[in-house]
Amino acid sequence: MWLFALAITIPLGLDLYLPAPEDNPVTEEKIELGRRLFFDKRLSRDQSVSCSTCHEPELAFADRKPVAIGVFGRKGRRNAPALINRGYGRAFFWDGRVKTLEEQVLKPIEDANEMDLKVEEATARVGLTAETMARALATYVRSLLSGDAPFDRYIHGDRDALSAEQRRGLELFRGKANCTACHVGPNFTDERLHNTGVAWNGTRLTDEGAGRGDFKTPTLREITRTAPYMHDGSLPTLEEVIDFYDQGGRPNPHLDPELRPLRLTPEEKTALAAFLGALAGNLERR
């Protein structure tokens, strides 16, 4: 069963009911313990990186690198995703292989290309059980919220919160650009996996662990803070992302049927990018 984390203040625009497992209710004590663990480099083999190394608070808990860099300079295969609003998530990691935050938060500790430390060693270093550590880290991540963006204020009646260009971008987002096919709801994601062709190079799948090349729709909140983009960090700017979708993604045998050439004008692309900038809000819990 699931309870609702009403102890956390929910910013304007987000769903007021933030779910938490019945056996891991949100408390201030757990949030604070999770925060300390999140920034604790003892959880990595050589004590050189923490969770915050790849998930920087000022970057919406993402980073500026195309792919994550772990201990000993080891490169991962995928971009470090933003952690904001993940309490609303229904699947975790780019490939959606994990269903709960409690399970997700321990995986990077053991991953050889990230922190490369067995959970048993990590818990011994900080004097906690694995269960306590997982529950605290998951609770801290649940507290990382972003809302109250210009878009939210506009939707709630402040008609001056968006510029004319941003309002035009909103129309495109909902209409011609077809962004709402995947980026829906208060968190601008359907939490599903889609094939956009990013993982394909001609007839070859470039990410061996990607199945057919399907990846989870990321939130668009704080999107201007989280470059580079896509699961592999292959698109450095929002403008390049818009161009990618304008071209209909990258052809491959499993391309999502929602993707097609959009034929946006340069002015429409600029307006769409301006609207995406209006999804930058107030980051709660640093």
Interatomic CA distance for residues 208 and 226, integer angstroms: 25
Residue-wise DSSP of 98-144:
B--HHHHTTHHHH-TTTT---HHHHHHHHT--HHHHHHHHHHHHHT-
Q: So what's the pLDDT on residue 205?
A: 87
Q: So what's the pLDDT on residue 286?
A: 54
Nearest residue to 179 (alpha-carbon basis) of 244, 82, 225, 83: 244
Out of 86, 121, 145, a domain closes at: 145
154 and 138 belong to one structural domain:
no
Q: So what's the pLDDT on residue 1?
A: 42
Interatomic CA distance for residues 141 and 83, integer angstroms: 7
Quick: pLDDT tens for 137-150: 999 999 999 999 99
Interatomic CA distance for residues 129 and 135, integer angstroms: 10
The dihedral through the CA atoms of 77, 86, 229, 95 has a sign that is positive
Number of domain units in the chain: 2
- The answer to whether the peptide bond before residue 25 is cis (omega within 30 degrees of 0) is no
What does the chain come to in residues? 286
231 and 125 belong to one structural domain:
no
Residue-wise DSSP of 77-88:
SS-----TTGGG
Reported as a pLDDT band with limits 50, 70 and 90, residue 282 is confident
Classified as helix, coil or strand, 39 is coil
Q: Which of 8-12, 207-211, 249-253 has the lowest mean pLDDT?
A: 207-211
Interatomic CA distance for residues 160 and 69, integer angstroms: 42
Contact call for residues 185 and 179 (beta carbons, < 8 A): no
Quick: pLDDT tens for 229-276: 999 999 999 999 999 999 999 999 999 999 999 999 999 999 999 999
Interatomic CA distance for residues 212 and 228, integer angstroms: 23
| pLDDT over 70 (residue 226) | yes
The DSSP 8-state label assigned to residue 207 in this structure reads: -
172 and 115 belong to one structural domain:
no
* β-bridge mates for residue 207, sequence order: none
* β-bridge mates for residue 160, sequence order: none
Q: What is the pTM of this model?
A: 0.95
CATH number of the domain encompassing residue 113? 1.10.760.10
Quick: pLDDT tens for 88-125: 999 999 999 999 999 999 999 999 999 999 999 999 99
Interatomic CA distance for residues 202 and 212, integer angstroms: 13
The H or E element that residue 174 is part of is helix 164-174
Out of 145, 160, 191, a domain closes at: 145
Q: Which domain holds residue 231?
A: 147-284
140 and 185 belong to one structural domain:
no
Out of 116, 145, 174, a domain closes at: 145
119 and 151 belong to one structural domain:
no
Token pair 């019945």 is at which residue?
22
